[in-house]
Structure 1
Amino acid sequence: MYEFFLTAHNWLRWAVLLAGLYAFARALSGMGGAKPFTRQDRTAGSLFTGLMDLQLLIGLILYFALSPITKLALANFGAAMKVQEQRFFAVEHLLAMIVAVVFAHLGTALSKRQDTARAQFRTQALWYGLSLVAMLAMIPWWRPLLRGLTGA
């Protein structure tokens, strides 16, 4: 069960990143001119946040129920703070990814409240960009990039 969820979390990361980059690129492209904010722009943001939510759910299942790393860390939190990998997954990765999800949702929600298309694009670009930065900074890049294909 652990391997299934870990592999799903690993592969879904790429869908989340692609959706985030797509939504961010659409937002940036709309900032410069008189382009209308369309249903496709809204859908790009919704796809990004929806995939983020699914990724967070899988991550929380791993964190609280399946991961041997976080089980060990939660059993002795003080000692875990001295072990880099345990601290990363028990605190740093979790908090940064929750912040990334919040930023993505802020981009979607706040853009709906803007009066002009340009303001909608600017709002999305800001919050989606911050979300992507938080994600990219805290993805465990040292682990297998495509779990299951590489024998890992």
Structure 2
Amino acid sequence: MYVTLLALHSLIRWVVLAGLLFAVFRAYQGWFTNRKFSRFDHSIRHWTATVVHIQFLLGIALYAISPLVDYFLHNFREAVHQRDARFFGMEHSLMMLLAVVVITIGSAKAKRRPTDIEKYRTMAVWFTIGLLIILTSIPWIFSPFTNRPNFRSF
């Protein structure tokens, strides 16, 4: 179960990143060109937030069964000084929670803005902040914090 969830979480990361990049691109493009906020843009906003929430739920499930997190929680005094244990037990999870909150707020605010340009601007700003938090908190293969493979097998 753990290996399957880990592989799925790793795979969905790419869907989240692609969705966020596309949503941010559309938001800036619409903002700077004064385009009408279309049904397609509403769909992008909605589905991007939805995929982020699905990934977060997978992350919570993974957090609950991870042996690394279990070690961190039961050996906090020692584990807080170990980079991998601290990253997954505390840093990664808190930063991703923050990113989900930022993206959710941005999606809700954009949905309720009265003008198209305000919708695009709100979506652009909040989704960009969420994307930057996510990009800095993923355990990339080149990350100085901790690293994991970019693709995991099932």
Structure 1 residue runs without a partner (length 5+): none
With the length of structure 2 as denominator, give the TM-score of the two structures. 0.93
Identity of aligned residues (%): 36
Q: Match for residue 144 of structure 2?
A: none
Deviations 1:58-93 (A, max 9, x none): 1111111x2110010011222211111000001110
**In angstroms, what is the RMSD of aligned CA positions?**
1.1
Q: Match for residue 124 of structure 1?
A: 123
Q: Match for residue 38 of structure 2?
A: 38
- Is residue 143 of structure 2 the alignment partner of residue 144 of structure 1? no
CA distance in 2, matches of 1:134, 1:60: 18
Q: Match for residue 12 of structure 2?
A: 12
Q: One-letter code of the match for 1:23?
A: A
Q: Residue 34 of structure 1: CA displacement?
A: 2.5
Deviations 1:22-46 (A, max 9, x none): 1111100011123100111111111
Note the 1:1-150 alignment, pairs <5 A. Answer: 1-64=1-64, 66-141=65-140, 142-148=147-153
Between the two proteins, the alignment pairs up a number of residues equal to 148
Structure 2 residue runs without a partner (length 5+): 141-146
CA distance in 1, matches of 2:102, 2:67: 29
Where in structure 1 do 4 or more consecutive aligned residues deviate above 3 Å? Answer: none
CA distance in 1, matches of 2:54, 2:113: 27
CA distance in 2, matches of 1:50, 1:113: 17
